[in-house]
Structure 1
Amino acid sequence: MPAIDLVNMRPSERIVQDDMTIAFIASGDLRDVIRTVNELPKDYTGELTVLLNDHNPMIVARNFALLLLLGSIENKRKAADIAVHYWYSALVPAMYNVHLQQMIQDVLSSSGASSVGANGSISCVMTPKSRIEGCLGTTTITILKQCVFSPESYQAQDVREELTRARLVNLSRDRLERQYWPLEPSHRLAFIEFRTYGLLLPFGAANSHFDYPNRLLFSPDGQWMQADKVNPLNGWHIPSLVKAGRKHGALPMDIYGCMYFYVSDQLREFASRLSSLRIRFKLFNLDACKLGNDLSSGVLSPYGLSDQIRFDRIDASNVMDPHYLGIEPVAKVWGPLLKHTNHATLVGHFINWVSRQRNANPSDADIPRLMRRLVSDNRIKMSPPSSSPRVGRELTEICAQLSCNAVHDNSKAFDDYLDSQGIDYVLSTSGLKRKRKHTIVPHRLGGSFESPSALPTFSDDKNWYLSMYIKDHLWSERYLELAPA
């Protein structure tokens, strides 16, 4: 899902001297954290406490390393470039690995202002104003050691062979070619280049010095850990990427080059804010509900999180989906941990709900009407003039599969889905209410804060193309915002 600003401070809420506490209880990567910190008012003077948790120790190890890189390297441009490649590139310059190893070694040896306890507890000063505290756990610390101090026998050629196995051999060829078909030739080439070499760089940039494995993207035994369909472009707002690329001289057809410049800009701004704002990161490697229960019972008091702590914002990511924890466990545990203010919000998103709910996707009866609308709006990509009728029909079918969800109102189906999950009982027993008017994110991708039934909007044909075909979103995803009753 695209990065969100979890605070999204409203004009009525803009009290820049107030302390704030926010929680990412199933964080995944850092994109939401970075976007949130970067969007804070520049004159914000309060202290921001960021609870950052994930149950996957590899994710926690990577996030910890990236935060240290961004907070510990004085040259912010250099810090951002090292971090962007450890985040997204399969290979890095050997000198970047030296920086990472030295930084992690300083932490593990408890030198300077850093310490690591026997149970995996951590305390690290990044800047005079920002620090990291919490408990990574012994498993995360072990994985971090194994990855950062990997055997010298694991070399760049091993990475290339593993990438070839994972991203070119062991993949769904049909799915991949369906993804490529609607793309413009330049974007098809950009996708193939990134899939083949795994480097987030402007197209044609010098890359011979990227000769050391990025072990933060591989398992300790050297296996690529992402599914072959993973597309890092999904995590960001594509028009913003294109705009940043233009500012740096990259053309829109170099979409991964645009992403490189955009994420680098975001990381530089984030690194600067670590020096100018008072921020405390609390890192943990726990199940999301166990984390909430440990907070309420006072187990996490040694890490500066008392049983009285309450949050201005809580991001539940996708764990309210029944494929994971479900709405009731998350609301029951985390609802009472919201502050009782007009703006406190628990937000989560739902991707898999469509498989459980009738009319979530367009029915066979809806398709002809939606197709007529797409054709009249010039949204269906036409096949090349020399194509056979069969090719034309198949291309239209592929584009329709991607496009119909975006022009289908699934708000009633989502309400029915929430009813099937017992939403009224969940809210009444957890002290929460549903926000019909959202304040953090629109009700659906590209939709409206005001109306749950509003369809995604696209400013022009180019915006439609970038949103629909460059990304892999289903366009049936929905957000849910809950507030204290």
Structure 2
Amino acid sequence: MLRLGPAREDTNVVKSQKECQEGPVKALYAAMETAPAIPHACANWKPDGNNCMNNGKLACGGCRLLAYCGKACQKNHWPEHKKVCKSSLSKPGWRPRWELDGREPAWASGDLSRNLHNPYGGGKYLWGNVPAIDILRLEQNEGYDYNQDLALLFAASGDLRNVVKTIGSLPSQYPGRVQVCINDRELHVVMRNATLLLLALTSQDARATGTASEPYAVTETLIHVWYSAFLPPKVSSELQTRVKPLIDEVCCGIAHRPADTLLGKTWRFPSGSTLRLVLKKEDWLLFQSFVAVPKGLTEDQARKILVAVTLAPERADYRDRWYFKDETPSMRIAKQRFREDGLLFPFGHPRHEFRIPNPMFFQSSRAWPIDDQADPLSGWPVWEVRRTSCTASQDAYGKLFVYLGVVVGKFLHFLDAGTTDFELYICDVTALPRHLDLNRYDRIEVANISDVGYVGTRGVLATLMPVLRSLKQNPHAVLVTLYLNAVMEVIKGGPEKDQVPDVGLLTQYLPSLRFFPPPTNNSAEMLRLWDARTLALDVDKFFERYMNIHQFREISRDLKVEMKANTVTESWPTQLKLQPGQDGAQEEFDALLGSSLTGLEHYVEWKRAR
């Protein structure tokens, strides 16, 4: 039997001094360090619904992944919990199966050996793969007391994380209107975003009339619709009663319109906010069925569809490789649980009500839409999530759930207090300006379509700079580009020595490489070293080469734009900040290595030259 321990703060937190001194981040940390609004249930529950109804107060002293109300519940639940708490994944000396079997991993031979990436599963990007950013950072730019209207453009939005974080970071007393234009070329993404916004806006109006659930229940609904593969009846009902009637009404009104007609609908809410969605007629009809579970799809079928990707037997070696670089055994266990049930919840929370397939994911009875590396943790700032107060201090997804409760709650609070106009489009970014006004936007965020494989730097700036406000209109107006592939493109195209990892630096973080015989190419240690190599690069040197190769200076001259010092985003947000041996340096390295981040994520900010 394992001991119970009191709740304790995760001390393995690294944050820059600059981050902690900034107003909005400091306020967010303060909110996260208070008791969460969404309570953690005692982990003593049974699939038949026989649950302890108390809150969890004392963490399991072994894994610190879940919490109980007291020792009696822990003792009662131990036969079930020991299956994970004492599992092989929980052992500090855990090794990948291919090593235990004495064989090469799956990617070492055959067709897989000729493909470095080997993605598996659906190809849609429904969650973010880089941490969310506040694209305004009003206090550091226009100023906390700024009172003019704001216009924001998310030109290749992906999911809503940047929208939610930005709006939620605005002062609640901000007096202006906020115009938010959100575009993506993937219909599935746009319909998900529209659904979440309709849920948020209708819940605000319901609260105004006294017919809505408690604020934390609305927040939890949005989190599960966004991230959980299965929903409880109450959340599923919210989709059917709040969103579907709005779409049905539109489809009824356009029944006689030509098939390829582009049609816009603006919903006006009593709060004063609006949402405008522009789709082709056939896409409106698809949206009508999007919020309903596909006919004939059962819970059992949906679970098989999920694990056919997330737990595919042929991907076991890949999962073992990822687990081996996780910072703690508890993180391995938490990730395995999320792969098994697809629910974004604290580890020990009851799950028996979550039986209805979430139509935001299940749009057919054949395929899971995202790949097997997709992870909700990838879309949110590592250190903000880690700093979140949680009774079970090693429960990464529980911390994320609490963190999102704060972030989404602040977003909903602003919708209560302010007036926001949302516009949603589905088109290629190069066609987007025909729908927009010139000189309109205070911020433009484009994700990584500035990478060479997409629109590229020149294409993005030529297309979107005309809709950014001039310096005369707003001297803080900024277009933000993100580069995910730039550094590696330069390295691969350069001399071979650039591709050699900085083993001297990395072995200061991975001491096992110093004390054991040299690992083989496919040993777990060597693969972990290879995966860590991007955390030890001179990124500024390689990006300087990238700018020369792709003629940033000529682009600036031709388009009359300028790169500027970053005031909205951190230039290299995922690079190591501490030196080996400094307090917290090992924890910083371990956390980044165990994440899906590479350390090569780079933001560049642009302004109009006049």
Question: Does the alignment pair 1:217 with 2:358?
Answer: no
**Partner secondary structure for residue 215 of structure 1:** coil
Q: CA deviation at 1:109?
A: 4.0
Instruction: Write out aligned runs for 1:326-341 (5 A).
Output: 326-341=456-471
Q: Which residue of the partner structure matches residue 553 of structure 2?
A: 424
Matched, 1:153 2:286: no
SS of 2:523's equivalent in the other structure is: helix
2:538 is paired with a residue whose SS is: coil
CA distance in 1 between partners of 2:387 and 2:225 (Å): 24
SS of 1:83 mapped into structure 2: helix
CA distance in 1 between partners of 2:384 and 2:494 (Å): 28
The CA distance in 2 between the partners of 1:10 and 1:457, in whole Å, is: 27
1:171 Cα deviation from its structure 2 partner:
5.5
Query: Are positions 1:138 and 2:281 aligned together?
Result: yes
Give the corresponding residue for 1:243. Answer: 387
Root mean square deviation of aligned Cα: 2.8
Given candidates 578, 586, 595, the residue that maps to 1:461 is 586
Cα distance between partner residues in 1 of 2:517 and 2:351: 41
The answer to whether the aligner puts 1:174 opposite 2:317 as a matched pair is yes
Whole-Å Cα distance in 2 between the matches of residues 70 and 326 of structure 1? 34
Aligned CA distance change for structure 1 residues 64 and 116 (closer, same or farther; 3 Å): farther
Please give the alpha-carbon distance, in whole angstroms, between the structure 1 residues aligned to 2:520 and 2:347.
Answer: 30
Which residue of 339, 346, 350 corresponds with 1:202? 346
Alpha-carbon distance in 1 for matches of 2:221, 2:493: 42
What residue in structure 2 maps to residue 304 of structure 1?
none
CA distance in 1, matches of 2:366, 2:542: 43
Instruction: Work out the CA distance in 1 between the residues paired with 2:229 and 2:274.
Output: 28
Residue 358 of structure 1 is matched in structure 2 by 491
Cα deviation, residue 53, structure 1: 0.6
Q: 2:264 aligns with which of 109, 121, 131?
A: 121
- Counterpart mapping for 1:8-407 below 5 A: 8-11=137-140, 13-14=142-143, 15-73=145-203, 74=207, 75=213, 76-110=215-249, 119-169=262-312, 172-183=315-326, 184-244=328-388, 246=389, 248-251=390-393, 253-295=394-436, 307-341=437-471, 342-358=475-491, 364=497, 367=500, 370-376=502-508, 379-380=509-510, 382=512, 390=519, 394-407=523-536
**Identical-residue share of aligned pairs (%):** 25
Which of these residues, 549, 552, 571, is aligned with residue 443 of structure 1? Answer: 571
Structure 1 pair 263/2, CA: closer, same or farther in 2 (3 Å)? Answer: same
Contact 1:57 1:139 in 2 (8 A): no
Q: How far off its partner does 1:325 sit?
A: 1.4
Q: Deviations over 1:233-290 (max 9, x none)?
A: 111112222322x2x4231x21111111111221122111111111111111111110
* TM-score normalized with structure 2 length: 0.70
Residue 86 of structure 1: how far off its partner (Å): 1.0
Change (3 A) 1:313 1:212: same
Q: SS of the counterpart of 1:202?
A: coil
Q: 2-side partners of 1:12 and 1:160: how far apart?
A: 47
Structure 1 residues without counterparts, runs of 5 or longer: 296-306, 448-454
Following superposition, the deviation at residue 169 of structure 1 comes to 1.6
Q: Tell me how many residue pairs correspond in the alignment.
A: 456
| Distance apart, 1:120 and its partner CA | 3.8
Deviations 1:378-433 (A, max 9, x none): x22648x9x98758993432332233322211212212212222322322222211
Report Cα offsets for 1:41-88 as digits up to 9, x if no partner: 233111111110100010000001111112212332121111111111
Q: Deviations over 1:414-466 (max 9, x none)?
A: 1221222232232222221111x21111221235xxxxxxx644844323322
Shift of 1:31: 0.5
Q: Which AA in structure 2 matches 1:408?
A: L
Q: Partner amino acid for 1:98?
A: S
Q: Which residue of 1 aligns with 2:602?
A: 478
Q: Counterpart in 2 of 1:302?
A: none
Does the C-alpha gap of structure 1 residues 271 and 140 become closer, same or farther in structure 2, counting only changes over 3 Å? farther
Distance 1:390 1:63, change over 3 A: same
User: Residues of 2 paired with 1:37 and 1:194: CA distance?
Assistant: 29
**Residues 207, 126 of structure 1: alpha-carbon distance in 2 compared, 3 angstrom cutoff:** farther
Q: Partners in 2 of 1:212 and 1:427 — Cα distance?
A: 52
Give yes or no for contact 2:172–2:417 (8 Å, CA) kept in 1: no
